[in-house]
Amino acid sequence: MFSNIKDRIRLLFRKDRESYFRFYKMLGFYPKDISIYEQALLHKSLSVKSEKGRLLNNERLEFLGDAILDAVVADIVYKRFEGKREGFLTNTRSKIVQRETLNRLAIEIGLDKLIKYTARQSSHNSYMCGNAFEALVGAIYLDRGYRACKYFMEHRIIGSYINLEKISRKEVNFKSKLIEWSQKNRFEVTFELITQSHDQGYNPTFESEVLVEGISGGKGTGYSKKESQQMAAHVALGKIKNDSGFIECIFAAKAARELSQEEVTVSDSKPSDSGAVTPDLSLEEIKKTDVVEQIISEAEEKAFKENA
């Protein structure tokens, strides 16, 4: 597909040929302008100034790569799953380009070891590797064009690290799945943020807990509130599937809640005595009601006397 033989011959006379060979092993072709790829691996914490005084890092390439990646994966998925509807194609693409998948892919191809960042920036940052992967795709596009991006994703990534058939059936949004289950079975589910702190690299971390009928279904941590809720929901779904004790507890709690609601409904539907006070009214409201009725009564009596 690409003129790798000619490129390799030319590289034999370059001092930085090791860098080119490293990218060739990862990409399947040699870069034309290696500086773009080096910028793709430069985290903003180690930004450098260009000759024009502009800060250089991988954020702009990440922006570009994000858009190109969406288009390339959509192209691949569209052609692989003929006859599938738009919703299926969209979900399958989102599972491939989501941050969790991109992080894993970056580590699989060894990209995480090439990212340059300050010591303060934690290597456990859940966004760094995925962002660098998107920036790499942006670099490929600028250096080699769309065709090379598709080749990289289709043959080097999806062909080696992603099972399209399997990932198309994979449930990813655990929170949505849990909420869907709760609505179908009429369980009350709530998410609560337990703690918000920082890890050793000063990156914000969150811990959330999911409650099913007020009973803890699981806790999860992540570098965003959304991620921590996803992890907690994942744990809860596992309990619903495998923990019979947990199932018994939430069914008992649900039954108690529904019984309590039925008792309140029955109580509200009973006719009140003529002299009984409406329980929903406060003492102050009751006094106001009595005053109004007295004013109306006096007005009616006065009108009756005038007409007599």
pLDDT tens, position by position, 222-241? 888 988 998 899 899 989 98
List the catalytic residue out of 38, 66, 207, 213.
66
Residues 16 and 160 reside in one and the same domain: yes
- Measured from the Cβ of residue 60, the count of other Cβ atoms closer than 10 Å reads 14
For residue 90, name the pLDDT band (cuts at 50, 70, 90).
confident
Q: Which of 7, 16, 59, 134 is catalytic?
A: 134
Active site includes 134?
Answer: yes
293 flagged as catalytic: no
Residues annotated in a binding site? 62, 131, 134
Assign residue 205 the CATH number of its domain: 3.30.160.20
What is the arithmetic mean of pLDDT over 8-29?
74
Q: What's 158's domain CATH number?
A: 1.10.1520.10
Please give the average per-residue pLDDT across 164-184, as a whole number.
85
From 235, 252, 267, the end of a domain falls on 267
Residues contacting 6, CB < 8 A, separation 6+: none
- The band of 14, judged by pLDDT with boundaries at 50, 70 and 90, is low
List pLDDT tens digits, range 121-143: 554 456 789 999 999 999 999 99
- How many angstroms separate the CA atoms of 119 and 146, rounded? 35
Q: What is the mean pLDDT of the chain?
A: 82
213-222, 231-240, 264-273: the lowest-pLDDT one: 264-273
Q: What CA–CA distances, in Å, run from 116 to 113, 202, 207?
A: 8, 18, 29
User: What range does the domain containing 215 cover?
Assistant: 174-267
